[in-house]
């Protein structure tokens, strides 16, 4: 690969570059899986014809997915690739009550994290959570550059959050598939939970995110307490 050719790639002239060349470039730059996928997405969407943008309909959660969700004992949430919170089982709804009940609606992880002051208390590692979300949305923007809803969300966050705007400019990309969340829940206190993201192949862009605690840990006890609290019926109105 010549220096001139590499310079053209840096300037974005990637519309006719083969995947083998991009693979060699990824290896030379020691890109990780997320960065390599982002490079391929950028090349794939660099064609001269720009598709007409459209606003997709709000994603719907199929009844069979809802039945799976409700059968799970672990807290679980159905999310979109834009981190919209579309549905949850009762324990998932209770775990992420601050997001579902946030004044910033519709419920969305990034909108809550950057625009609702309550997020800084809810997330023990607020900055790490926030940076991970920016990197995830940057990956999604490379994959779906003409997604009007995603563009609107990024524009809203860039306008209203100086932190989002600053970190968006770094162009970091990252997968958001497994990890640990440290939460300060308003009912049961501190929680350290593992999360796993399971894609729904029949529903493009949707996934189920499930949370679990180490057996016997304080977080497991707190989840059990939250489950009991969630299962307690509301007192009857005697008025």
Instruction: Pick the closest to residue 161 from 199, 122, 131, 198 (CA basis).
Output: 131
> What string of pLDDT tens digits covers the 239 residues of the chain?
444 544 444 444 555 565 665 555 556 555 655 555 545 555 565 555 445 544 444 578 999 999 999 999 999 999 999 999 999 999 999 999 999 999 999 999 999 999 999 999 999 999 999 999 999 999 898 888 889 999 999 999 999 999 999 999 998 877 678 899 999 999 999 999 999 999 999 998 999 999 999 999 999 999 999 999 888 765 555 44
Domain containing residue 126: CATH number: 3.30.450.180
In a domain, 150, yes or no: yes
User: What's the number of domains the chain is made of?
Assistant: 1
In a domain, 72, yes or no: yes
Secondary structure letter of residue 175 according to DSSP: -
In a domain, 205, yes or no: yes
In a domain, 52, yes or no: no
In a domain, 171, yes or no: yes
Q: What pTM did the predictor assign?
A: 0.77
Range of the domain at 207: 63-231
Instruction: Pick the closest to residue 134 from 80, 83, 76, 194 (CA basis).
Output: 83
């Amino acid at each position: 690969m010549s220096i001139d050719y590499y310079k053209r790639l840096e300037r974005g002239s990637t519309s006719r570059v083969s995947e083998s060349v991009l693979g060699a470039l990824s290896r030379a730059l020691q890109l990780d899986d997320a960065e390599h996928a982002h490079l391929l997405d950028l090349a794939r969407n660099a064609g001269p014809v720009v598709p007409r943008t459209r606003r997709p309909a709000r994603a719907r959660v199929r009844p069979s997915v809802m039945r799976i969700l409700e059968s799970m004992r672990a807290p679980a949430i159905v999310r979109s690739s834009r981190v919209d919170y579309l549905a949850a089982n009762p324990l998932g709804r209770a775990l992420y009550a601050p997001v579902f009940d946030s004044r910033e609606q519709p419920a969305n992880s990034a909108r809550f994290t950057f625009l609702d002051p309550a997020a800084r208390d809810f997330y023990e590692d607020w900055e790490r959570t926030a940076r991970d979300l920016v990197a995830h949305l940057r990956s999604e923007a490379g994959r779906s550059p003409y997604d009007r809803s995603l563009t609107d969300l990024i524009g809203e966050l860039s306008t209203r959050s100086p932190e989002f705007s600053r970190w968006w400019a770094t162009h970091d990309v990252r997968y958001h598939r497994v990890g640990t969340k440290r939460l300060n829940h308003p009912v049961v206190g501190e929680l350290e939970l593992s999360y796993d993201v399971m894609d729904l192949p029949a529903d493009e862009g949707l996934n189920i995110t499930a949370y679990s605690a180490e057996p016997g840990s304080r977080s497991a006890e707190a989840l059990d307490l939250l489950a009991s609290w969630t299962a307690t019926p509301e007192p009857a109105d005697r008025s």
